[in-house]
Amino acid sequence: MAQEARCVWQARAVLGEGPLWSPRQDAVYFVDIRGSRILRHGLSDGSQAGWDLDDAACWLVESADGDGFIAGLRSRRVVRLRLEPGQAAVVGEEIARIEPDKPGNRLNDGKADRDGRLWAGSMDDAEEAPAGSFYRIDGDGAVTTVDEGYTVANGPALAPDGRTIYHTDSAARTVYAFDIGADGSLSGKRVHIRFTEADGYPDGMTCDAEGGLWVCHWDGGRVSRFRPDGTLDRAIALPVSRVTSCVFAGPDLDRLFITTAAHGRPDEPLAGALFECDPGVRGLPPGRFGSPSP
């Protein structure tokens, strides 16, 4: 492993996940699903803030209209969310309700693409049954099931050309690739990467501008970059076991921030921290929900 990541904030997140780079706020936001918190790290000033939620957020994206954030909640609702420093989080309009008939499920991870659509997965909260699915949520709130049979849905990540999306079933130790049609339909599901037991479990991931896929290793203590053909390029070590997700950030998208989990790791002093590393490549601008990105 060529380098190690450095801790920028020991946030003690029980289950840190879903990092989001906000150019508008010059900050990285991330969620603590088990801690029912949303956390914010300012890039320029190093400021830190947090908000408690009754219904935990599982992921965040920015709204294309500038009206705050869109959040996927543990209760399988997709809502507008306002986060102002020093004020309580305000849950607003419900945009979509997913799986109202599956109380044992929760949302887990989601991203917006450059066409303003959301891609999000659900999972069995007990992490035992393949009861989860993969969804597309359009700008009008319409929900479409695009794949099924996930125990722990994770990812997703979008390739630079916008024509390939990656999605993971962590329990199966497998990252899948799909082709995206012009209408948002998915086809050509295939195995892109398969982890071994020694690798841990594939968790959150993101693509860089060269098409590399950065995959976090839960119980593997690292982030690995895979080439577009699925072969391993390099890895970045972390001083914790449960590495959960990552995002490119900064004006030049040349900084990689990495979330981790303290859950089940009381012996690791930095478990649950936010880390940063110099990836040597640039990332892709974040998508926003509601209209195509410029």
CA 273/CA 138 separation, integer angstroms: 33
pLDDT at 94: 97
Question: Each residue of 212-256: pLDDT tens digit?
Answer: 999 999 999 999 999 999 999 999 999 999 999 999 999 999 999
pLDDT at 293: 60
Question: Each residue of 33-87: pLDDT tens digit?
Answer: 999 999 999 999 999 999 999 999 999 999 999 889 999 999 999 999 999 988 9
Q: How many CB atoms lie within 10 A of CB 54?
A: 10
Over 60: is that where the pLDDT of 1 sits? no
Mean pLDDT of the chain: 96
17 is in an annotated binding site: yes
CA 166/CA 154 separation, integer angstroms: 9
Nearest to 239 by CA among 212, 256, 262: 262
93 is in an annotated binding site: no
203 is in an annotated binding site: yes
Q: How many CB atoms lie within 10 A of CB 49?
A: 15
- Catalytic machinery residues: 203
pTM exceeds 0.75: yes
Over 80: is that where the pLDDT of 202 sits? yes
Is residue 235 within 8 Å of 4, Cβ to Cβ?
Answer: no
62 is in an annotated binding site: no
Question: For residue 72, what are the CA distances in angstroms to 80, 114, 121, 161, 270?
Answer: 9, 18, 10, 25, 27
CA 138/CA 81 separation, integer angstroms: 18
Token pair of 278, please?
């110099």
Describe the chain by its helix, strand, coil percentages, rounded to 5. 0, 55, 45
For the chain, domain boundaries: 3-289
106 is in an annotated binding site: yes
Domain 3-289: top CATH class? mainly beta
Strand order in the sheet with 153-158: 153-158, 164-169, 174-180, 186-194
